[in-house]
């Protein structure tokens, strides 16, 4: 206890600035983005500006154990005996009774959360959670476990009618979870919970150290924009993978789809095969159990593999590329601003823009460019979309090789091809027209009828309204001049 008359070491959470009132320390000027605000607003952000939610968020640089929230979060191990700086501080301020209480809990599994009293802390409760040990090989499992940590803590706060809860940074210390990846999961999970179930929760504090604060400040605007302008600026920076409506990581292989009457087929012909019966059940991992792997490899070599099996092989290959795309640092490719999402066309379909002049073929790693394309486009292609390619003022060093395009077309998921409704080729040259004809005629199938050569922007505006597409200034100048 503090001596009589001495200033308390504990921090009153009500004295801290909420995220909405905290200025941008880098002083970024959003005026430079005004030219593209209107077009970006046409496509709504998955995390729109919400003043009511921002008032609940606090970023605090300091010891989580000193906050007087209803509950604070302690990150520990499965036996709840971990000795990390956060846990040691919590035990030191809570007193010896906490250790005795933890013995009664008999441990805690990864991803779960268990609650104890706060004892000598200013907080009434401590929510103990166990974050995952991070290994690249098991990245998907780690993502799901870390999501569960944040979700279960918020669930405790909801069920116990807590007014405030303070999070420490979970799993990024001894457990090795990459800080930026962990922060994305933390923010999107808390944001979704506050949207869906956060009526009674008034304050959520993210307690960080000097090392963690820059990352938290950088990513907070993506999930908790403080204005509509910041929302628009942050939109292109939001990762492709934002989970489901609760922020939970989505693994396509685990999605079970069951037909209305899986036991009955409309056509009971004798020619029905086992594959057709499995198709009635679903496409999840259990339904896709296969036979001898060596036998399949032999069939591949002999060219006798069925179409269904070939599709499965292609899907596995695409998923490997997608996992790589999500794991690698592609910021250098993103900085080129060669591929971005804008508004919708006259039919309400998402418009993606590709700027040829912004692709320095000889200066970048084309494999990383392919990964970036997959990373950006994966969530776009789940529904109908169109592509606009500005060939304006491209030079020899900007021309994409046909072999690269063919490789890209062969790697991407079927949804990329099926949901592409139009490819607008703006300001084509004679050479590009010939190359496009050869490529769509002899290299790929099913694309030729979707390609439209657009000689000027007026033709493009008949398909996509001007306010729905963000056009580079040099394209506008060229079109006006020519």
Average pLDDT over residues 346-372: 90
Cβ-contact 94, 102 below 8 angstroms: no
Burial class (CB in 10 A: 0-12, 13-18, 19+), 191: buried
Number of structural domains found in the chain? 3
Among 206, 222, 237, identify where a domain stops.
Answer: 237
Q: Are residues 118 and 29 in the same domain?
A: yes
Tokens standing for 424? 């607008």
Quick check: is 165 in a domain? yes
Q: What sections of 361-456 are H helices per DSSP?
A: 366-377, 402-411, 414-418, 430-438
Q: Are residues 310 and 382 in the same domain?
A: no
- Phi-psi category of residue 109: left, alpha or beta, with phi > 0 → left and psi -120 to 50 → alpha: beta
For 277, the 3-state DSSP assignment is helix
The Cβ-side half-sphere exposure at 128, using a 13 Å CA radius, reads 26
Q: Are residues 193 and 289 in the same domain?
A: no
Q: Are residues 314 and 349 in the same domain?
A: no
- We report the CATH number of the domain holding residue 458 as 3.40.525.10
Among 202, 218, 237, identify where a domain stops.
Answer: 237
Residue with the bigger pLDDT between 99 and 253: it is 99
First to last CA, the chain: 79
Distance CA 476, CA 73 (A): 53
Q: Are residues 346 and 465 in the same domain?
A: yes
Residue spans of beta strands (DSSP E) within 262-362: 339-344, 350-355
pLDDT in tens, 291-305: 555 555 555 555 555
Q: Are residues 152 and 227 in the same domain?
A: yes
Distance CA 470, CA 466 (A): 8
Q: Are residues 53 and 200 in the same domain?
A: yes
Quick check: is 258 in a domain? no
Q: Are residues 313 and 336 in the same domain?
A: no
Q: Residue 104 — φ and ψ, nearest 5°?
A: -70, -25
Quick check: is 467 in a domain? yes
Confidence band of 224 (pLDDT split at 50, 70, 90): very high
Mean pLDDT estimate for the chain? 83
- We report the CATH number of the domain holding residue 48 as 3.40.220.10
Q: Are residues 220 and 358 in the same domain?
A: no
Q: Are residues 20 and 106 in the same domain?
A: yes
Cβ-contact 64, 16 below 8 angstroms: no
pLDDT in tens, 420-471: 999 999 999 888 888 888 777 777 777 888 999 999 999 999 999 999 999 9
Q: Are residues 148 and 101 in the same domain?
A: yes
Q: Residue 461 — φ and ψ, nearest 5°?
A: -70, -15
Distance CA 167, CA 212 (A): 13
For residue 59, CA distances in Å to 187, 194, 212, 230, 235 come to 12, 16, 11, 18, 21
Confidence band of 278 (pLDDT split at 50, 70, 90): very low
For residue 186, which of 59, 298, 90 has the smallest C-alpha distance? 59
pLDDT of 297: 55
Task: Find the range with the poorest average confidence among 107-121, 324-338, 379-393, 433-447.
Answer: 433-447
State the residue range of the domain holding 314. Answer: 282-327
Q: Are residues 323 and 203 in the same domain?
A: no
Q: What's the CA dihedral at 292, 298, 301, 306 to 10 degrees?
A: -50
pTM of the full structure: 0.55
Cβ-contact 363, 406 below 8 angstroms: no
């Amino acid at each position: 206890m503090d001596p009589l008359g001495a200033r308390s070491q504990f921090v009153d959470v009500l004295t801290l600035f909420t995220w909405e009132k905290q200025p941008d320390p880098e002083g970024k000027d959003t005026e430079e983005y005004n030219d593209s605000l209107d077009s970006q607003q046409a496509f709504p952000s998955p995390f729109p500006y919400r003043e009511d939610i921002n008032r609940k968020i606090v970023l605090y640089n300091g010891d989580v154990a000193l906050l007087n929230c209803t509950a604070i979060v302690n990150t520990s191990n499965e036996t709840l005996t971990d000795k990390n700086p956060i846990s040691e501080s919590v035990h030191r301020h809570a007193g010896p009774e906490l250790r005795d209480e933890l013995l009664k809990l008999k441990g805690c599994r990864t991803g779960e959360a268990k609650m104890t009293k706060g004892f000598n802390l200013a907080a009434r409760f401590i929510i103990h959670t166990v974050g995952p040990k991070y290994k690249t090989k098991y990245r998907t499992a780690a993502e799901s476990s870390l999501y569960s940590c944040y979700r279960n803590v918020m669930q405790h706060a909801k069920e116990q009618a807590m007014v405030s809860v303070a999070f420490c940074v979970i799993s990024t210390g001894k457990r090795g979870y990459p800080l930026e990846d962990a922060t994305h999961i933390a923010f999107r999970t808390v944001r979704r919970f506050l949207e869906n179930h956060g009526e009674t929760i008034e304050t959520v504090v993210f307690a960080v150290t000097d090392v963690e604060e820059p990352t938290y400040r950088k990513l907070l605007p993506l999930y908790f924009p403080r204005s509509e302008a910041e929302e628009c600026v942050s939109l292109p920076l939001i990762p492709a993978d934002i989970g489901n409506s609760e922020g939970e990581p989505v693994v396509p292989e685990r999605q079970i789809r069951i037909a209305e009457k899986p036991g009955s087929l409309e056509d009971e012909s004798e020619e029905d095969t086992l594959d057709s019966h499995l198709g009635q059940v679903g496409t999840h991992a259990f339904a896709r159990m296969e036979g001898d792997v060596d036998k399949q490899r032999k069939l591949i070599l002999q060219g006798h593999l069925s179409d269904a099996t070939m599709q499965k092989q292609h899907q596995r290959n695409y998923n490997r590329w997608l996992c790589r795309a999500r794991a690698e640092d592609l910021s250098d490719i993103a900085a080129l601003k060669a591929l971005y999402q804008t508004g919708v066309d006259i039919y309400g379909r998402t418009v993606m823009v590709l700027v040829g002049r912004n692709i320095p073929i000889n200066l970048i790693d084309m494999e990383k460019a392919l990964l970036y394309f997959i990373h950006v486009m994966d969530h776009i292609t789940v529904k109908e979309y169109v592509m606009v390619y500005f060939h304006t003022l491209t030079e020899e060093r900007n021309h994409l090789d046909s072999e690269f395009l063919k490789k890209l077309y062969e790697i991407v998921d079927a949804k990329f091809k099926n949901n592409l409704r139009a490819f607008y080729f703006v300001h084509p040259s004679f050479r590009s027209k010939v190359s496009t004809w050869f490529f769509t005629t002899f290299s790929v199938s099913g694309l030729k009828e979707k390609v439209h050569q657009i000689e000027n922007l007026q033709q493009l505006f008949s398909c996509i309204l001007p306010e729905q597409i963000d056009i580079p200034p040099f394209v506008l100048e060229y079109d006006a001049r020519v």
